[in-house]
């Protein structure tokens, strides 16, 4: 708590703390380093202890950061190349970590538990790659777009850049959004609905664009097609180089990375709903349509991702500028603890359901439920007829 208070009183200190975000993706290599140093393969569990135990504890001990970059400091941060460097320079870090992990998994005789632990740790690395691709993918220049696609390619998630920007941001906190969890929906059920939903929405967006511009939806002008080709080349190249022994590593790391994105979406929008206008359209997204979190450790390791309320209300705002809003609903804990709660649905609901109801004053008509989503789907089908 004292450190967070010091940071709020000395905002320039935070600039250098963003280097934590640059070093965090190297976390999976900790297991390899300790294994080599001690000749104990079960040191592969060290990164998992870090992310599942130590970081949640630090989240609680250090506390929240309520500092916003405003006025002249905001202008200075906007002009500084430091903040863009912080994201773009992650590209070699992401690839270096992933490739070293692939090589080690395929060439070392590890016990199956140590192999799995290493793959899970590298899945966290790819989860961070998706987060980095998310931040970069919100930029409008072509260079940032391609950096984002390259960051997303190892996790076979290149379609996310398009789907997130043009789908999720448009439909968030509505029954239309596959990435918004309904009230009472468990994390695992949500993930099974959300993941295919992102592919379906991304493909629909690009198919519509192809039809409008007069080219085949299978063309390499289709961003979804391009992203799949990029991932196939990467995975295929690794399998040719390292053999079949690398396949479990690739699959486990991929599964963990996509599950982490689902967990983030799950806790960031659970049960929240935008009101509808008299014409049936939904009101614009505002800070109260995402769960916010000011935990310092969470935000320093995610490029302020947990300040999600501002991100959705102002999607073009860069990570260093994201602000906290008093009217936004607040998560009770940092992301590390919230992820652990999400993995146990009854426990998550015990914590979050009362907060959802408190947020709307007990008015269930202002909560996104499963029944409401079904009714909306039926309504849209009637309209289409």
Q: What is the DSSP string of 316-343?
A: TS-GGG----TTS-B-SS-HHHHHHHHT
Q: How many domains does the chain have?
A: 1
Give the separation between CA 167 and CA 179, rounded to whole angstroms: 9
Q: Please, are residues 173 and 285 in contact by the beta-carbon 8 Å criterion?
A: yes
Residue 64 dihedral angles phi and psi, to the nearest 5°: -95, 155
- Quote the pLDDT of residue 10: 55
Which residue is associated with the tokens 């390619």?
153
- Quote the pLDDT of residue 324: 86
Q: Please, are residues 328 and 355 in contact by the beta-carbon 8 Å criterion?
A: no
- Quote the pLDDT of residue 69: 57
What 282-289 contacts at long range (C-beta under 8 Å, 24+ apart), as own/partner pairs, is 282/173, 282/174, 285/169, 285/172, 285/173, 285/312, 285/313, 286/313, 287/312, 287/313, 287/325, 287/327, 287/328, 288/325, 288/327, 288/328, 288/329, 288/359, 289/172, 289/173, 289/313
- Quote the pLDDT of residue 380: 78
Non-local CB neighbours of 262 within 8 Å, separated by 6+ positions: 187, 190, 191, 194, 195
- Quote the pLDDT of residue 199: 96
Q: Helix %, strand %, coil % for the chain, to 5?
A: 70, 0, 25
Q: pLDDT tens per residue, the chain (385 residues)?
A: 555 555 555 555 666 777 787 788 899 999 999 999 999 999 999 999 999 999 999 999 988 887 775 433 455 555 567 777 778 889 999 999 999 999 999 999 999 999 999 999 999 999 999 999 998 998 888 888 999 999 999 999 999 999 999 999 999 999 999 999 999 999 999 999 999 999 999 999 999 998 998 888 888 889 999 999 999 999 999 999 999 999 999 999 999 999 999 999 999 999 999 999 988 889 999 999 999 999 989 998 888 899 999 999 988 888 888 888 888 999 999 999 999 999 999 999 999 999 999 999 999 999 999 999 998 888 877 765 5
Give the separation between CA 357 and CA 359, rounded to whole angstroms: 5
Domain of 192 in residue numbering reads as: 2-384
Non-local CB neighbours of 91 within 8 Å, separated by 6+ positions: 132, 147, 150, 151
- Quote the pLDDT of residue 4: 52
- Quote the pLDDT of residue 72: 38
Sign of CA pseudo-dihedral 260, 263, 267, 273:
positive
Under DSSP, the state recorded for 27 is T
Give the separation between CA 356 and CA 346, rounded to whole angstroms: 15
**How many Å is the Cα radius of gyration of the chain?**
21
């Amino acid at each position: 708590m004292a450190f967070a208070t010091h940071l709020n009183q000395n905002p320039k200190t935070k600039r250098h703390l963003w280097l934590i975000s640059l070093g965090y993706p190297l976390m999976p290599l900790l297991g390899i380093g300790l294994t080599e140093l001690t000749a104990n393969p079960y040191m592969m569990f060290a990164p998992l202890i870090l992310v599942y135990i130590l970081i949640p504890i630090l989240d609680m001990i250090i506390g929240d950061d309520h500092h916003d970059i405003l006025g002249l400091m905001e202008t200075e941060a906007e002009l500084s190349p430091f903040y863009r460097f912080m994201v773009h320079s992650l590209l070699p870090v992401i690839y270096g970590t992933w490739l070293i992990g692939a090589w080690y998994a395929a060439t070392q005789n590890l016990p199956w538990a140590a192999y799995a632990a290493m793959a899970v740790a590298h899945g966290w690395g790819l989860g961070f790659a998706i987060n980095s691709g998310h931040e970069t993918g919100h930029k409008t220049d072509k260079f940032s777009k391609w950096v984002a696609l390259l960051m997303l390619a190892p996790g076979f998630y290149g379609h996310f850049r398009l789907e997130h920007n043009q789908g999720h941001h448009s439909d968030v906190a509505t029954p239309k959004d596959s990435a918004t969890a309904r009230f009472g929906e468990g994390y695992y059920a949500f993930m099974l609905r959300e993941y295919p939903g992102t592919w379906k929405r991304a493909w629909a967006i690009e198919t519509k664009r192809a039809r409008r511009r007069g080219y085949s939806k299978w063309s390499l002008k289709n961003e979804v097609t391009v992203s799949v080709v990029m991932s196939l080349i990467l995975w295929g190249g690794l399998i040719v180089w390292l053999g079949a022994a690398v396949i479990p590593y690739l699959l486990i790391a991929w599964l963990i990375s996509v599950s982490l994105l689902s967990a983030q979406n799950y806790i960031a929008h659970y049960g929240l709903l935008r009101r509808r206008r008299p014409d049936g359209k939904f009101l614009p997204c505002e800070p109260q349509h995402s769960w916010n979190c000011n935990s310092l450790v969470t935000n320093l390791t995610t490029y302020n991702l947990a300040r999600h309320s501002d991100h959705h209300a102002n999607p073009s705002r860069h990570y260093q500028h994201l602000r906290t809003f008093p009217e936004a609903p607040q998560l009770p804990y940092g992301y590390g603890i919230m992820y652990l709660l999400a993995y146990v649905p009854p426990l998550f609901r015990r914590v979050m359901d009362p907060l959802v109801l408190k947020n709307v004053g007990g008015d269930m008509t202002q909560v996104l439920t499963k029944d409401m989503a079904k009714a909306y789907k039926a309504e849209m089908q009637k309209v289409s007829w």
